[in-house]
Amino acid sequence: MREIEIKATVSSVQSIIDILNTQGVTMTAPVTQHDRIYGEAGADGGGDNTSPWLRIRTETKNGATKHLFTLKRSVTNQLDSIEHETEVADATELESIISQLSFVPYSELTKTRQKARIGEIEVCLDTVEKLGTFIEAEKLTADDADYDSVLRELWAVFESLGIRHQDEIVDGYDVLMNKYLETAV
């Protein structure tokens, strides 16, 4: 499965929710997600890096917690990835497995996410601790999907929500967090 997404900063979550409501689209209840990302030693995660990345996501919704394990490998950029994901019972044991595979911690972050669906496109409103508020539009496609065609679909959704091209972010949250931590020192 391939996930193609776009991302932008958001100044007003409520204005996005209001526009979605006028379109007859409802957001889900907020979910807290704590992500731990692992990469190969020395991989920087930026640009068109095609190294595999592993993520353990601990998700809490309505007091219930689950752990998801994800493998991502970029196709054209950080926001265009082959992705495989499954729920796991023991995140601590999975961390040990990842370590034995010689992957090292790359980034860690916590966010609150709300989702909506517009046709085949998922819209996510994310408030990421230390980084701010963002919106994503993403579509799951076949591995050989036409990237430019999917981008046009995603931007059509963003434009219907008043999102401007100048607010686009091309890095994943993991890379943004590492950049933030480098400047915060």
What's the CATH number where 98 sits?
A: 2.40.320.10
Mean pLDDT, all residues of the chain? 94
90/132 Cα distance (integer angstroms): 30
70/8 Cα distance (integer angstroms): 23
Q: What is the average pLDDT across 28-44?
A: 92
User: What are the C-alpha distances in Å from 84 to residues 70, 120, 144, 150?
Assistant: 6, 18, 15, 19
Residue 182 main-chain phi, psi, to 5 deg? -65, -40
Structural domain count, the chain: 1
Which range marks the domain in which residue 47 is found? 2-184
**Predicted pLDDT at 77:** 87
For the four alpha carbons of 68, 74, 78 and 81, in that order, the dihedral sign comes to negative
| Contact between 118 and 99 (Cβ < 8 Å) | no
Local confidence band at 7 (pLDDT 50, 70, 90 cut-offs): very high
Q: Please write the tens of the pLDDT for every residue from 90-124.
A: 999 999 999 999 999 999 999 999 999 999 999 99
Higher pLDDT, 161 or 46: 161
pLDDT at 78 over 90: no
For the four alpha carbons of 163, 137, 120 and 144, in that order, the dihedral sign comes to positive
pLDDT at 46 over 70: no
Local confidence band at 48 (pLDDT 50, 70, 90 cut-offs): low
Helix (H) or strand (E) holding 95: helix 91-100
Local confidence band at 69 (pLDDT 50, 70, 90 cut-offs): very high
Q: What is the average pLDDT across 35-58?
A: 86
Local confidence band at 47 (pLDDT 50, 70, 90 cut-offs): low
**Predicted pLDDT at 183:** 86
For the question of whether the overall pTM of this predicted structure is more than 0.85, the answer is yes
